[in-house]
Structure 1
Amino acid sequence: MDFFDFVTSTVALIGFPLLLFLLSFLWIPKAASGNTSRKKTAPEAGGAWPIIGHLRLLGEPQPPHITFANMTDKYGTIFTIKLGVQRALVVSSWETAKECLTINDKAFATRPKLLSAKILTYNYAMITSAPYGPYWRQVRKFATIELLSNH
């Protein structure tokens, strides 16, 4: 009986405040920080679940392009969705897509720097995780000429 009392009191004293602390991050509004020098970002589509984001919308009976068309009608021609915990930009007008792929191509060509990619790919040394730059161009040229050609 004494051990049971010890466990319940330990859970009550440590577990409950820890749970409240972790849950407080879900309900604190981001705009309450008062930071007025925030970067402008595209609006995020509503309805994202905490861990899976908007992935449940892509698994509906209707095709994903119909889902994106409905979201475009609601949020505009450019918006963000969450694929898991990562944010993805959705562009549905050809003018904006052309601007993203010609004028701002360097900003869109690079990959996110994730800790897992850094560890698994030897400090971003593999072509699949290397950031856009001279090293990536050299590795791409090598892979195209030596690995993917009939030469």
Structure 2
Amino acid sequence: MDYFHSVTAIPTVAIIAFPLLLLFSFLWISRRNTNSKKTAPEAGGAWPIIGHLRLLGGPQPPHVSLANMADKYGRMFTIKLVVHRALVVSDWEIAKACLTTNDKSFASRPKLANSELLGYNRAMFGFAPYGAYWRQMRKIATIELLSNHRLELLKHVRESEVKTSLQQLDGSKKLL
């Protein structure tokens, strides 16, 4: 009888202890992150999933909404765009500091799992972090892919792709 009670007590204790342990670790990590980083204040009025997108998509143009928020929250604040935070700077001196002194930290892309998985460990041009590799890839893309000479050489490929797409669309309408 004692063995039966001890066997059933272990899962019960685990079911109770696991959520408490999870909650404790979440609170400890969030407290550690808020104390270690100095961030700009976040504008109020964000909804849980969409963030501040409803404020930017209202009857006013987005720049007017952001200017109103700057009057309320200061020269530099953050907003939530879906799940990501965006820094809004409305002062030219702070913007100059962001784009000259701290340009490397602002120019780089965030490390995301999808950029590592889909972008061959961030080796593709669109996912690469700012640095020597990205500058070299930008130079190659500009000279080899996007130059006027190269675009003129590959003009027939684009024209044939458009023609084929239009023929397929026309053929699908005949089938319907």
TM-score above 0.5, yes or no:
yes
Give the Cα–Cα distance (whole angstroms) in 2 for the partners of residues 86 and 111 of structure 1. 13
User: Closer, same or farther in 2 for the Cα pair 1:136/1:73, shift >3 Å?
Assistant: same
Matches within 5 A, 1:43-54: 43-54=41-52
State the partner residue of 1:86.
84
Local SS of the residue matching 1:98: helix
Would the alpha carbon gap of residues 112 and 35 (structure 1) be closer, same or farther in structure 2, given more than 3 Å must change? closer
Structure 2 length-normalised TM = 0.65
Give the deviation of 1:113 after TM superposition: 0.8
Deviation at 1:93, TM superposition (A): 1.0
Letter in 2 for 1:44: E
Instruction: Please state how far the C-alpha of 1:37 moved relative to its aligned partner.
Output: 4.4
1:144–1:52 distance in 2 versus 1, CA, 3 Å: same
Tell me, in whole angstroms, the C-alpha distance in 2 between the residues paired with 1:35 and 1:87.
15
Question: CA offsets, 1:39-82, max 9 Å, x none?
Answer: 21111111111111111111101111110011001100100001
Tell me: higher relative CO, structure 1 or 2? Use CA pairs within 8 A at least 6 residues apart. Answer: 1
Matches of residues 65-76 of structure 1 in structure 2 within 5 Å? 65-76=63-74
Q: How does 1:49-68 map to 2 (within 5 A)?
A: 49-68=47-66
1:126 is aligned to 2:124: yes
Shift of 1:109: 0.4
Pair member with larger Rg: 2
2:107 maps to amino acid:
A
SS state of the match for residue 36, structure 2? coil
Give ranges in structure 1 of 5+ residues lacking alignment: 1-16
Structure 2: unaligned runs, 5 residues or longer: 1-15, 150-176
| TM-score of the aligned structures, taking structure 1 as reference length | 0.76
Partner in structure 2 of residue 9 of structure 1: none
Question: 1 CA distance for matches of 2:123 and 2:49?
Answer: 29
| SS of 1:51 mapped into structure 2 | coil
* Cα RMSD after superposing both structures: 2.6
Alpha-carbon distance between aligned partners in 1 of 2:141 and 2:41, rounded to the nearest angstrom? 38
Following superposition, the deviation at residue 95 of structure 1 comes to 1.0
Q: How far apart in 2 are the matches of 1:92 and 1:60?
A: 20
Identity, in percent, stands at: 69
| Paired positions, count | 129
Q: Which moved more, 1:33-42 or 1:83-92?
A: 33-42
Bigger share in helix: 2
